[in-house]
């Protein structure tokens, strides 16, 4: 009996040990399972967070891409507009360069023309009656200086040359009396000078005792001894000075120019 009890106790001891070991094993297995589940949940959460972050980043990138695409389209449109504007500006620049070249060519040609016209005016003054010599000489000298100055535009030079031509042309339609010193037969005389347009010049001393005319053929001042002519010269001077009404008067005009200077 004792031996059987001893055997039963041994079996119970072994069975308890087995059950204890099994319980421990099950306990460890449960712990491992929980840890595995927790790890899986954690991984799942991290994965979901990563997916959420990626989705958010994807949406942000997609939004930025669409914005960049819209910007590219706008820039391409602006580029087309600017390219068209550049082509227009290039065309205008080319036209301005052409005009500048043409202007330079015309300015050079105009400068030559101005010089030709000035020399003709100068020659005309030199060959005309010697009235208002100081005034006309000063005008020509001033004009010559202005035409040679590079700081004056060609258009302004042309304007001043035309003004001088107009002044000279206006002399042909006017009559006036002015005072000047002349030389008659080698003698210096201060006299009143009557200019009848660009046709004739007459002179008379202030005391009305001497009078004469300018002989353009001879290129000199001459005295006239005819008392009637002197009286008519005096009357013409009074008319030109508006001191008496205008009337017809017979005055000797003399020769206009020597035959050698007559142009065909």
At 93-128, the pLDDT tens digits run 888 778 877 766 776 678 888 999 999 999 999 988
Among 170, 190, 220, give the residue marking a domain's end.
Answer: 170
H or E stretch covering 262: none
Among 170, 197, 218, give the residue marking a domain's end.
Answer: 170
Residues 185 and 165 in one domain: no
| Residue where the block lists tokens 């001891």 | 13
Q: What CA–CA distance (Å, rounded) separates 107 from 115?
A: 12
Q: How many domains does the chain have?
A: 2
Residues 163 and 196 in one domain: no
Q: What is the CA radius of gyration of the chain?
A: 60
* pLDDT score of 58: 83
What tokens appear for 50 in the block?
A: 């990563």
Band (pLDDT 50/70/90 cuts) for residue 258 is: very low
Boundaries of domain holding 159: 108-170
The string of pLDDT tens digits covering residues 27-52 is 666 676 677 777 877 777 888 887 78
Query: Considering the domain boundaries, does residue 61 fall inside one?
Result: no
Q: What CA–CA distance (Å, rounded) separates 147 from 116?
A: 11
Residues 149 and 218 in one domain: no
- Spatial contact of 185 and 224, defined as CB atoms under 8 Å apart: no
Residues 229 and 247 in one domain: yes
Among 127, 146, 170, give the residue marking a domain's end.
Answer: 170
The string of pLDDT tens digits covering residues 194-212 is 999 988 999 999 988 999 9
Query: Considering the domain boundaries, does residue 151 fall inside one?
Result: yes
Q: What CA–CA distance (Å, rounded) separates 126 from 136?
A: 10
Query: Considering the domain boundaries, does residue 210 fall inside one?
Result: yes
pTM, two decimals, is 0.57
The string of pLDDT tens digits covering residues 218-232 is 889 999 888 888 899
Which are the contacts of 143, defined by CB distance < 8 A and separation ≥ 6?
118, 121, 160, 161, 164
The string of pLDDT tens digits covering residues 167-198 is 999 998 899 999 999 999 889 999 999 999 98
Give which of 186, 233, 244, 169 is closest to 205, Cα–Cα.
Answer: 233
Residues 113 and 149 in one domain: yes
Query: Considering the domain boundaries, does residue 144 fall inside one?
Result: yes
Residues 156 and 202 in one domain: no
Residues 155 and 200 in one domain: no
Query: Considering the domain boundaries, does residue 43 fall inside one?
Result: no
Residues 129 and 163 in one domain: yes
Q: What CA–CA distance (Å, rounded) separates 85 from 97?
A: 18
Query: Considering the domain boundaries, does residue 149 fall inside one?
Result: yes
Residues 137 and 179 in one domain: no
Which are the contacts of 246, defined by CB distance < 8 A and separation ≥ 6?
239
Residues 153 and 198 in one domain: no
Query: Considering the domain boundaries, does residue 68 fall inside one?
Result: no
Q: What CA–CA distance (Å, rounded) separates 148 from 86?
A: 41
Q: Name the 3-class secondary structure at 190.
A: strand
Q: What CA–CA distance (Å, rounded) separates 259 from 212?
A: 23
Residue % of the chain over a pLDDT of 90: 34
Residues 182 and 254 in one domain: yes
Query: Considering the domain boundaries, does residue 26 fall inside one?
Result: no
Sort strands 200-204 and 175-184 into parallel, antiparallel or unpaired.
unpaired
Band (pLDDT 50/70/90 cuts) for residue 262 is: very low
φ/ψ (deg, to 5) at 154: -60, -35
Band (pLDDT 50/70/90 cuts) for residue 136 is: very high
């Amino acid at each position: 009996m004792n031996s059987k009890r001893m055997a039963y106790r041994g079996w119970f001891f072994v069975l308890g040990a087995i059950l204890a070991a099994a319980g421990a094993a099950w306990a460890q297995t449960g712990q491992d399972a929980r840890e595995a589940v927790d790890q899986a949940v954690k991984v799942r959460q991290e994965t979901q967070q990563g997916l959420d972050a990626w989705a958010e980043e994807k949406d942000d990138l997609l939004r930025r891409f669409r914005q960049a695409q819209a910007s590219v389209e706008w820039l391409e449109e602006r580029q087309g507009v600017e390219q068209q504007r550049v082509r227009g500006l290039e065309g205008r620049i080319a036209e301005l360069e052409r005009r500048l070249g043409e202007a330079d060519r015309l300015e050079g040609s105009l400068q030559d023309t101005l010089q030709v016209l000035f020399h003709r005016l100068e020659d005309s003054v030199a060959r005309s009656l010697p009235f208002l010599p100081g005034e006309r000489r000063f005008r020509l000298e001033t004009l010559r200086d202005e035409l040679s100055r590079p700081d004056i535009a060609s258009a302004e030079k042309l304007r001043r040359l035309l003004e001088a031509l107009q002044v000279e042309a206006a002399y042909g339609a006017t009559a006036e009396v002015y005072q000047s010193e002349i030389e008659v037969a080698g003698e210096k005389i201060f006299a009143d000078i009557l200019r009848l347009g660009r046709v004739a010049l007459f002179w008379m001393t202030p005391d009305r005792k001497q009078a004469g005319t300018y002989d353009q053929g001879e290129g000199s001042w001459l005295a006239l001894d005819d008392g009637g002519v002197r009286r008519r010269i005096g009357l013409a001077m009074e008319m030109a000075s508006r001191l008496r009404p205008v009337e017809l008067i017979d005055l000797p005009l003399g020769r206009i120019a020597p035959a050698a200077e007559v142009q065909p």
